[in-house]
Amino acid sequence: MTTDAGGAVDPHARVKHAAAARGLEIEIRERPHARSLHEAAALLGLQPSDIVKTLVVKTSSSGSGGQAPDYLFALVPGGRAISWPKLRRLVGVNKLRLPEPDLALAATGYERGTIVPIGSSHDWPVYADETIVGRRIAMGAGTHGHSLFVDADDLIRAYGATVADISVPE
């Protein structure tokens, strides 16, 4: 894999390598900076709901179902937000939260706004909102200024994601 001047693996190389290892077909496109979800969708020729946010969520192991992982990924389409009660119930924990940017970076190897489960430094469980099923989606690509395109069903299958109603309209 490609490394940068400091010896770190290039995020796009990580994403591409991880996708290939799982038999996942992806496309990474450069894109201009957008000031809003609607502007980003227009720049990419998409509907806002076709852009999926990958949120890294810190868990609590105080759930009834035993030891929970430290983190999980929640895939939520544009125009929707995580439903914390639904996600807590599904995961079986009492507390969930978005970690601070430095913790999210340490947990995934990606900065906020670029996070994607593909090539993450840890294989955290993936929870996908049911509204993304059957769609081609755009999401973070590991670096700012790029979008990754993938068939949601292939991503769900490749990562053994749990599909459920985990969101509410924004």
CATH number at residue 150: 3.90.960.10
At residue 162, does pLDDT exceed 90?
yes
CB 114 within 8 A of CB 144: yes
Q: How many domains would you assign to the chain?
A: 1
In this structure, the strands spanning 126-129 and 136-140 are unpaired
Residue 99 lies in a domain: yes
Segment 59-112, tens digit of pLDDT: 975 444 555 569 999 999 999 999 999 999 999 999 999 999 999 999 999 999
Nearest to 110 by CA among 100, 121, 126: 121
In-domain check, residue 117: yes
Dihedral Cα 110, 116, 120, 124, nearest 10 deg: 120
Quick check: is 53 in a domain? yes
pLDDT in tens, 98-127: 999 999 999 999 999 999 999 999 999 999
Q: What is the mean pLDDT of the chain?
A: 90
Q: Residue 105 forms beta bridges with which residues?
A: none
pTM of this structure: 0.90
What domain range is 62 assigned to? Answer: 11-169
Looking at residue 60, its pLDDT comes to 72
